[in-house]
Amino acid sequence: MELLRCAAQICCGESPAQPKPGVLGSTAAPVPSVAPPSQVTLTGRRKSLLVGINYFGTQNELHGCVSDVQRMLPLLDQLGFPSNAESRRVMVDTPDWPQQLHPTLANMRQGIAWLTQDAQPGDSLLFHYSGHGGRMPRTDGRSEFHETLCPVDMDAAGMLLDSELFETLVRPLPSGCRLTCILDSCHSGGVLDLPFIFVGTQENLASALAGEAAQMAMSKNWLQDWQAWKDSDDPAMLLSDVASMGMDLWGLWGKYNETRGANEQGFRTDEAENAGIAVGEVVAFTGCASEQTSADVGDVGSQFQPPVQRWGGVAQGHDVEASCEGTWR
């Protein structure tokens, strides 16, 4: 909810509250220090494109993606994003949905072109994607892999590459136009080829990870493990929890190391070649880092019971991705 609240504030041109540390990504080189961007009032049009793909009847079937889109609609209504056909386009792969709005490769390309068409300073755009994400070898020498979005007809038509998404979704935006992306898929951290990624500073991340380590320690029943060893001369339970704790701490150490090279605002370079090319304001909230996968939790409603609606900023040239681990695809 904190992530969605932050995304909502950015969509509306508000200054979001300072996020909690611990938002992670993966990049290589440090970026120069930049002043925090000034927030501008977005008084232009508001347009949204939402894509949810369950891949019904295939071996790749997911169960929560169409529901993700359904649950976004009331939030967009609250934020003042119009629901008319000129301002909102919803693409899902349910059998009864109009074929021209099924999320095929061709329709997704058309939808992205529609979203960015005639974009003006002061406009607020939103792109939400929930579905499979992939990786494929990259041959242009910039990095090892392309990160991709997977249309419903990906086996026949192919996938949407990060380089194409940068050219068609990010680069066309004029200065003063804001695009907020919420990308819930595997490998989504790099799927827009944005030049910078937010990883947090080592100081505030260390504080957050210390709290997480304490929670890990308290989640183990050390007294029960010790008693089992004492009563049966079998240390298996204790050793199992020790090994689990060690793996978790190793993961935290990896997270901490990912902040090395970040500037004082917590940013690192991701796609240096794209720095300064795009002049619009683009922020992407992603399900995981480029090299990570995430899992489908299935029936979200039975676990969290969120409301469901049934069918009826960053400084100019300083685009950024914020990536959160532990989400759903």
What local confidence, expressed as pLDDT, does residue 13 receive? 59
The residue from 11, 177, 181, 186 that is catalytic is 186
Active site (annotated) includes residue 132: yes
Burial of 186 (0-12, 13-18, 19+ CB in 10 A): buried
9/58 same-domain check: yes
209/301 same-domain check: no
CA dist., res. 315 & res. 18, Å (int): 17
112/246 same-domain check: no
* CB count in 10 Å sphere of residue 10: 24
pLDDT in tens, 255-289: 556 656 666 666 666 666 666 677 788 888 888 87
What local confidence, expressed as pLDDT, does residue 268 receive? 61
CA dist., res. 158 & res. 270, Å (int): 25
278/248 same-domain check: no
290/228 same-domain check: no
The residue from 132, 146, 187, 318 that is catalytic is 132
Residue range 26-38: mean pLDDT, rounded = 43
First to last CA, the chain: 17
What local confidence, expressed as pLDDT, does residue 254 receive? 63
Q: Domain span at residue 242? A: 203-254
CB 270 within 8 A of CB 194: yes
Residue range 7-33: mean pLDDT, rounded = 44
9/79 same-domain check: yes
**pLDDT above 90 (res 116):** yes
DSSP letter string, 95-114: TTS-GGGS--HHHHHHHHHH
Q: Alpha helices of the chain — where are they, by DSSP H?
A: 2-11, 65-78, 105-116, 154-157, 162-165, 202-218, 222-232, 236-257, 300-304
207/77 same-domain check: no
If you average pLDDT over every residue of the chain, what do you get?
Answer: 75
Residue range 114-141: mean pLDDT, rounded = 92
**pLDDT above 60 (res 75):** yes
**pLDDT above 80 (res 11):** no
What local confidence, expressed as pLDDT, does residue 221 receive? 76
237/172 same-domain check: no
User: Would you place residue 312 in the very low, low, confident or very high pLDDT band (cuts 50, 70, 90)?
Assistant: very low
Question: Tokens 């976004």 — which residue?
Answer: 72
CA torsion, points 183, 189, 192, 194, in degrees to nearest 10? Answer: 130
What local confidence, expressed as pLDDT, does residue 323 receive? 40
User: By C-alpha distance, which of 38, 48, 44, 64 is closest to 7?
Assistant: 48
- Whole-number Cα distances in Å, 109 to 5, 77, 242, 260: 28, 25, 50, 37
SS3 34: coil
Total of domains in the chain = 2
Residue range 204-214: mean pLDDT, rounded = 63
What local confidence, expressed as pLDDT, does residue 229 receive? 75
Least confident of 248-252, 254-258, 289-293, 311-315: 311-315
Active site (annotated) includes residue 65: no
78/160 same-domain check: yes
What local confidence, expressed as pLDDT, does residue 21 receive? 33
100/231 same-domain check: no
**pLDDT above 50 (res 298):** yes
CB 251 within 8 A of CB 290: no
Least confident of 16-30, 73-87, 251-265: 16-30
Q: Which amino acid is at 245?
A: M
77/141 same-domain check: yes
Single pTM value for the model: 0.69
Q: Domain of 139: which CATH number?
A: 3.40.50.12660
160/288 same-domain check: yes
User: Would you place residue 226 in the very low, low, confident or very high pLDDT band (cuts 50, 70, 90)?
Assistant: confident
The β-bridge relationship of strands 160-161 and 145-149 is antiparallel
User: By C-alpha distance, which of 242, 225, 243 is closest to 234?
Assistant: 225
What local confidence, expressed as pLDDT, does residue 306 receive? 47
CA dist., res. 283 & res. 320, Å (int): 5
